[in-house]
Structure 1
Amino acid sequence: MSTDKPPFPPFDLDSATRKVRLAENAWNSRDPDKVSLAYTVDSAWRNRATFLTGREAIVAFLRHKWDTEHEYRLIKELWAFHEARIAVRFQYEYHDDDGRWFRAYGNEQWAFDDHGLMVRREASINDVAISSSQRLFHWPAGQPRPEDHPGLSELGL
C-alpha cells in the first residue's frame, strides 16, 4: 500500500523546489519515523559508504545519525530536476559527543514513484571541521529553517 506524498512527478521548477523544502523541513525535525514516510517501503539508499534498503533500515540509520550528530541543522537547495528525478546540494552543521563542530557538504540524487515517494536516494557527503564561531545555521534545533533564514546561495556557500 502506498501513501501519496505530493508534489508528484513530473516535476517543474515550483514543484521540485517545494519537494526539496519539504524534505529539508522533515530532516530538520530529526524524527526518523516521520522522515521515513517520504520513502517507498523498499527504497534503496547510498549514504556516503553505507548502502541500505527499506524504511526499517532508514529509521535505524537516522536514529543512529541523530544520536551522534548533535544540534543538527540542514539547508538543502535544488540543483536540477527532470521528470521524476531531483538533484540537490545541501549542507548541515552539527557537533559530535566531544563538542567539535562540523559542516557537512553534500549532493544527493533522488528518484520518485508516481505517488511522490522516493524510491532511490544517493548521497555523497564530506565533513569539514569548523569552530563554533563559524556556524551559520542558527535556528532552534529540531525545527524547520525559518522562511526568512538565508539559503545556501544567499549565505555564499
Structure 2
Amino acid sequence: MATVLTLPAMRRELAELLHWSGEAAQTGMAVEALFPDADHQDMPARQWFLTHADPERTAERLRHVYAVSPGLLAVVATRADDPRAWCDAGRAAYRLLLRAAADGLTHDINAGPVEIPTLTPQLAAELEPGWRPQVLLRIGRPSSPSHTTPSVRRTIQLR
C-alpha cells in the first residue's frame, strides 16, 4: 500500500474508485474501509484521499490488520506467465470467489504485488520455487457491511 500511495498514477487511479460510506455508489469502495479514521471534512472522497492519505501510516496500519485478521490470504499462481496461464488463473480465482460468496464471505483483491514488477519477486519468494503469482486475494468477513459494495448478482447456492 505504501508503494501504491506514493506512485502518482496509481494514487489517482485508486482515488477514482473511492466514495464515502453511505453514499450511493455502483463501483469502488468506501474510504472508511481503507482509512477507518478518515474525517469527511465536507469534501469529496477522491479529494480527501489525494490530500490526506498518508502512505507510510496506512501501510503500517494495514500490516497490523493483516497480521491479526481472521481472514485468509490466497495466492493463485501458475507455472507459466503467458495468456493461457492468465486465463487459467482468472478461472481459478473466479471459482474461489464464488465459493467464498456462497459461504457469505467477501474479498479484497490486492493487485499491487502481482502487477508491480518490483513486488512480484517478493510475493513469489513466499511460494514454492517455479510458481508465478497471478492473483492475491484476501477473503474474510468485513468489519462493517457499509465497507462493502453490494453485488448486483443473485444469491449464489453451490451444491
Smaller-chain TM-score range?
under 0.3
Normalised to the residue count of structure 2, the TM-score between the two structures is 0.27
User: Higher strand proportion, which one?
Assistant: 1
User: Higher helix proportion, which one?
Assistant: 2
